[in-house]
Structure 1
Amino acid sequence: MIDPDSELEPRYRSIATTPDWYQTNIPCQVGCPAHTDVSTYIGLISQARFDEAYLLNRKANVVPGVLGRTCARPCEPVCRRNKIDGKPIAICWLKRAAADHREYRHHAQRPPVTKDKKVAIIGAGSAGLACARDLREMGYPVTMYEQYPTGGGVMVNGIPVWRLPREVTREECDEYMEDIGVEVQYNTRVGRDVKLSQLLKDYDAVFIAAGCYIPNAMTGPDNKVIPGANLKGVEDGIRLLEKTNYGEPAFIGKKVAVLGAGFTAMDCCRTAIRFGAEKVYVMYRRSQEEQPSDEYEVDEAKLEHVEFQYLVTQKEVLTNDGTHVSGIRFIRNKLGDPDASGRRRPIAIEGSEFDVDVDTVIPAFGQYSDTTWLEAEELGLEVNKWGVPLIGYDDWMTSHPGLFAGGDYTQGARNLISAIGDGRDIAAAINRYLGGVDKPAESAEEVELPDYRRGMVDNYESIPFELIPSLPLHDRYSNTRETESGFTPEQAVIQARRCLQCQLNIMIDPSICILCSGCVDICPYDCISMEGLSRVVKGDPMHKGTENWRGGADMIIDEEKCIRCGLCIVRCPTDAISMVQFEVSSPNDRWSVSKIPMLNVR
């Protein structure tokens, strides 16, 4: 028989289903810097197994209750559920649900000290906490030096209480470290209370995880500091949040302009509303499409009556008395070619200046790292033009042996989960430097799930996405009451059932497949097709020896479309199709798909 597809262009190439392929085929886990086993913990929540889901999260990302409220959610844009109804799984909010609805506190068991080498960590923020936890589990004694009275770093001094209650940070940043035996020297600033050079003498390895806390200057279109930047009523965003979070006096007037449109800007504009501001503007130099904040954050700010103005750049802070802010002058922009960030560069439009009447100006342009305490010259540190230590990205070590650096301190201000990922990588690098070895990864397994019938018993495909419940507008005007109330247990279970469980995969046994095309007919998303051999790219290793065949067919599975319904398994007359779960555990490279049965898909 002549191949009916012989006149069509080859378009398919087979691949070997190695552990690497399975891992990259779970897009949410690939997208997470800490490689959290998302599909498994979502599956656990779908069965109301909140405690197990919480512990699985804590294993990967250390502070699940915090991240369930504040994560930047890089996992969600790549979620395959988007292909069904344009809405990803609420991965972040479900992480919070696991923390909120667990039955037990789950004090961690203290790992024994089995190593004779000591490690110091400067900074008890995201990167420092993650590194400390992993090193303690490896058996190292760890001491952290933290300049603030609590652990958490930006979780406490930069994220408002109305987003992140302090009982959550106390449990996951302070009490958790105490549980696992990390010694924390609070109110201790390296460079003031103890020298970096002294730590290098006292410890076998030192990790700088000091974060970014120095605000960038308030500059204008010419990149020079604008007139009036030091007037009373100008308060840098990160400093304002620190004051309001620690209960220090902070001035927020009745008319406020927040400059910038990132996460700090969103926290500042909404904090201003909670402190009684009557009119709040967010002024951003680029377009709405290019603002760093996600759509949900912006929508919440608009709901609270924050006004957004785009394509404007500040030129001067105005004053009537020479001391206090009375307004701010802007110039309108148009967008030019992309700059180094990949976004289109704002270009000022001559003659388009306008003034806004305000009494408070809050610049929120990001932060940079304090390097004044490094003793770089004395230690012979190689640094960049800003004084930040240069590191090797294979080992995270500076030019000084035993001194490591990472997180936002070297990478710039980003988000909590990225810093956590760095911290875990650095813990493994420190272990190798101190003579430890990586634990070998367990071999990957394909475990068949018998009697898989999800598409016949569950309506998961039609469950709509739901926003996290929040307080009504009239109840939001408090700096201490959490604005988002969170999913109920019932809502969390339903939202978790939307997950397609991408760690599951359809397998077809070619030795018993009769090419009847029944699976093709029943597949609701046309992800299975039968194609002639001529459509496979020439030289494909899986088809060696078939180059001269005149007929024959391949069963093609499009993983991007598959929703794991299992209808093809039910339809197959020869039981050639099965659903398998990929299982692997690799402790040191942080990849893990847990061996937990997914009862919700049976």
Structure 2
Amino acid sequence: MIDPDRELEPRYQSFLASPDWYQTNIPCQVGCPAHTDVSTYIGLISQARFDEAYLLNRKANVVPGVLGRTCARPCEPVCRRNKIDGKPIAICWLKRAAADHRQFRHRAERPPITRDKKVAIVGAGAAGLACARDLREMGYPVTIYEADPVAGGVMVNGIPIWRLPRSVTYEECNEYMDDLGVEVVYNTRVGRDIQLTDLLKQYDAVFLAAGCYISNPITGPDGKVVPGADLVGVMNGIEFLAKTNYGEPVFVGKRVVVLGSGFTAMDCCRTAIRFGAEKVYVMYRRSKEEQPADEYEVDEAIRENVEFQYLVTQTEILSKDGVHVSGIKFVRNKLGDPDSSGRRRPIPIPGSEFVLDDIDMVIAAFGQYSDSSWIPAKELNLEVNRRTGVPLIDRETWMTSYPGLFAGGDFTEGSRNLISAIADGRDAAIAINRYLGGQDKPAEPPEEIELPDYRRGMVDDYESIPHENIPSLPVKERYSYTRETETGYTPEQAVIQARRCLQCQLNIMIDPSICILCSGCVDICPYDCISMEGLSRVVKGDPLHQLAETWQGGADMIIDEEKCIRCGLCIVRCPTDAISMVQFEVASPNDRWTVSKIPVLNRGQANARR
């Protein structure tokens, strides 16, 4: 039996919808480190407006064609569409569709140089390019020093060509920077060909974005380097990918073991298959549920006949002749308490050792750390991480302890993903501009945009459109290193997949001056996200609680933003036209967010409007 007193407990409170509320109300945007305006570009794709979607993406994340193939997709797990059918919007793959199906290349217009301060950037990877782009648009002359012969960093030397064609990286990393007027000095390694101290003398600010390329050693359960780690046939994953990407000679065995199960491991195991390996194992010390790799990539590797073994840790790399790899000894694990990473610690099981025989190549993919040997920390009196030697930075200013020397991206944060590095680069550009005396762009006043005749639920079946994986080559056609495996959505497929989006940047608004509390919207709502509640159910202490005490007959209309699919059926049903669909927009300083500033009420994750 339901307790009537419990049923009438206060369940919601009012508050001013600050930027924080708006950000969480658009979960894909807050989930993206670069705060990409996902809802808007997906909406553009749903109308086949690919060029506009591409340009919107380029504004936010610099290399949309690259990210549409390689992004780690932190936006997708939080996508509200999951609540409808358990499948998020294909945000990443639709980003690629916008790049693939645009009509024009969209060469960028070169911004004029309006600042008399110069900036140098070390590294033309994701963080460096993002920082350079934003600084050029602010009017600064920018020079990047890059050790490789092309721009892109890990996009070129780490991500395989079968995932990311070099025509895409060249357009977005090289041509785009050229168009903007960013000077890139190639084949120049800072610390060897030019010294950091020289850059600090020549430039008003220097941003270190040198990436993270030193592979972690092959260690056993005790944390010590395993015997045999120096045998012929043992290679680290970053070196293996760099050699295959640049077309350098590299030995690829017939029976290959990849240690680790992250992004690099997936690229290595699938690349080994394409270079002729007959059997490839991926060995991971934790469980399948805890592996860092994306589930889709793991499934694709399995389709390509890669074998995964979990809860195993290497203890020794074996050799029959004392020179070459011939096998690996492992111990099986069980999971203990969570460690510093938040994942359960693997614990070796005594007596569970076993050997994989006839192995002729081992690829270690345990992650990377940054090379700091080229930084004269003592000469500059830099504060550095005692373990790694990497400069410490102020998280608010992105500056090191040396004035004018900034750092970020994977160089300071460790190996992560492209979109996080891009976000760092953009934030660093803002900080450098402030340091050099520039001002943030003032926030624009909020603007309410009403969408007239909004009747999506009457004309569209978007809530029943199934999720479709990106089309790809049949397995038998994948054994080429230069042929892209994923073929991408057709324009028609992209439009259909974009139509699945719930458009979370839109909000139902109820005008209390003409609402007659008829409950028609409550009755027609297909997901029961609208309800009528008495004012007495506002939590005590809330500004509306005093109103509830004096106005006993008052009621609130509650709209649960988590459930609302923006169908517009309530708009059609309302007899007094009290309900409308609106979008609230305001550009934040430096265009990093589109935010709202409107008064709403809240019940948990729901909005309430009287």
Counting only pairs closer than 5 Å after superposition, residues 333-482 of structure 1 correspond to structure 2 as 333-357=333-357, 358-385=359-386, 386-482=388-484
Amino acid in structure 1 at the alignment position of 2:222: D
Q: Give the corresponding residue for 1:597.
A: none
Q: Secondary structure at the match of 2:296?
A: helix
Which residue of structure 1 aligns with residue 534 of structure 2?
Answer: 532
Cα separation, 2, equivalents of 1:536 and 1:377: 61
Report what 2:569 is aligned to. Answer: 567
3-state DSSP of counterpart to 2:385: coil
How far the C-alpha of 1:589 sits from its partner, in A, is: 5.3
Equivalent residue number for residue 200 of structure 1: 200
1:222: which partner in 2? Answer: 222
- Does 2:321 correspond to 1:321? yes
Q: Could you list the per-position Cα deviations for residues 519-571 of structure 1 after superposition, in whole angstroms to 9, with x for gaps in the alignment?
A: 00000000000112222111212443322544332111110000000000000
**Contact 1:528–1:556 (Cα < 8 Å) also in 2:** yes
Aligned with 1:78: secondary structure? coil
The question of whether the paired residues in 1 share the 8 Å contact of 2:87 and 2:467 is answered with yes
What corresponds to 2:87 in structure 1?
A: 87
Distance 1:552 1:183 in 2: 65
Following TM superposition, by how much is the alpha carbon of 1:437 offset from its aligned partner in structure 2, in angstroms? Answer: 0.6
Q: Find the residue that maps to 1:479 and give its secondary structure.
A: coil
Give the residue type in structure 2 aligned to 1:562. C
Q: How many residues are paired up?
A: 591
State the partner residue of 2:103.
103
Structure 2 counterpart SS, 1:456? helix
1:247 alignment partner, SS class? coil
Amino acid at match of 1:110: R
Which residue in 1 is equivalent to 2:242?
A: 242
- State the partner residue of 2:518: 516
Partner of 1:37: 37
Which residue identity is paired with 1:368? Y
Q: Secondary structure at the match of 2:479?
A: coil
Partner of 1:519, secondary structure, is helix
Q: Which runs of 5+ in 2 are unaligned?
A: 597-610
In the aligned structure 2, how far is the partner of 1:519 from the partner of 1:279? 60
CA deviations 1:451-496 (Å, max 9, x no partner) are: 1110001111111000000000000001110000000000000000
Alignment of 1:539-554 (within 5 A): 539-554=541-556
The SS at the match of 2:143 is strand
Cα distance in 1 for residues equivalent to 2:463 and 2:309 = 39
Identity fraction in percent? 82
Match of 1:599 in 2: none
Is contact 1:6–1:535 with CA below 8 Å preserved after alignment?
no
Cα deviation, 1:402-443, whole Å, max 9, x if unaligned, reads 000000000000000000000000000000000001010111
Give ranges in structure 1 of 5+ residues lacking alignment.
Answer: 595-602
In structure 1, what is the Cα distance between the partners aligned to 2:5 and 2:320?
A: 79
Letter in 2 for 1:218: I
Cα RMSD between the aligned structures?
1.2
Between the aligned partners of 1:192 and 1:297, the Cα distance in structure 2 is 38
What's 1:68 paired with? Answer: 68
TM-score, structure 1 as length reference:
0.97
Offset at residue 510 of structure 1 (A): 1.2
User: What residue number does 2:497 align with?
Assistant: 495
Deviates more, 1:147-156 or 1:530-539: 530-539
Amino acid aligned to 2:528: D
Residues 7, 292 of structure 1: alpha-carbon distance in 2 compared, 3 angstrom cutoff: closer
Counterpart mapping for 1:238-317 below 5 A: 238-317=238-317
Say if 2:536 and 2:545, in contact at 8 Å, map to a contact too.
no
* TM superposition score normalised by structure 2: 0.96
Residue 261 of structure 1 aligns with an amino acid whose one-letter code is S
The whole-number CA distance in structure 1 between the counterparts of 2:567 and 2:547 is 34
Choose 410-419 or 547-556, whichever is displaced more.
Answer: 547-556
Task: Indicate whether 1:169 and 2:169 are aligned.
Answer: yes
Q: Is the 8 A contact 1:5 1:534 kept in 2?
A: no
CA shift, 1:15, in A, is: 2.5
Indicate the larger mover: 504-513 or 478-487: 504-513
State how far apart, in whole Å, the 1-side matches of 2:22 and 2:402 are. 39
Residue 471 of structure 2 aligns with an amino acid whose one-letter code is P
Partner of 1:591: helix, strand, or coil?
A: coil
AA in 1 matched with 2:526: P
Tell whether the 8 Å contact from 2:259 to 2:363 is kept in structure 1 after alignment: yes
In structure 1, what residue type is equivalent to 2:171? E
Map of 1:149-160 to 2, 5 A cutoff? 149-160=149-160
8 Å CA contact 2:539–2:545 kept in 1: the answer is no
Whichever residue aligns with residue 530 of structure 1, its letter is M
* Other-structure match for 2:136: 136
User: What is the one-letter code of the residue matched to 2:376?
Assistant: E
In 2, distance between residues paired with 1:133 and 1:7?
A: 56
Is the 8 Å Cα contact of residues 6 and 532 (structure 1) preserved in structure 2?
no
Tell me how far 1:294 sits from its aligned partner: 1.2
- SS of 2:590's equivalent in the other structure is coil
**Counterpart position of 2:599:** none
- Superposed CA offset, 1:309-328 (max 9, x none): 00000000000001000001
Give the distance between the partners of 1:45 and 1:395, measured in 2 at CA: 36
Question: Distance in 1 between the 2:158 and 2:226 partners?
Answer: 25
Paired AA for residue 69 in structure 2? R
For residue 152 of structure 2, give the secondary structure of its aligned residue in structure 1. coil
> Could you say what secondary structure the match of 1:592 adopts?
coil
The answer on whether the counterparts of 1:518 and 1:571 sit within 8 Å (CA) in structure 2 is yes
Deviation by residue 1:139-176 (Cα, 9 ceiling, x = unmatched): 00000000000100000000000000000000000110
- 1:13: Cα distance to partner? 1.2
1:587 positional shift:
4.8
Partner of 2:185: 185
Are residues 5 and 112 of structure 1, via their aligned partners in 2, closer, same or farther at CA, if it must alter by over 3 Å? farther
**2-side partners of 1:587 and 1:179: how far apart?**
25
Determine whether 1:585 maps to 2:581. no
Secondary structure at 2:336 match in 1: strand
Are residues 593 and 498 of structure 1, via their aligned partners in 2, closer, same or farther at CA, if it must alter by over 3 Å? farther
The answer to whether the 8 A contact 2:19-2:595 is kept is no
Q: Is the 8 A contact 1:538 1:547 kept in 2?
A: no
1:503 Cα deviation after fit = 0.7
Code of the residue aligned with 2:335 in structure 1: it is L
Moved over 3 A (4+): 4-7, 548-551
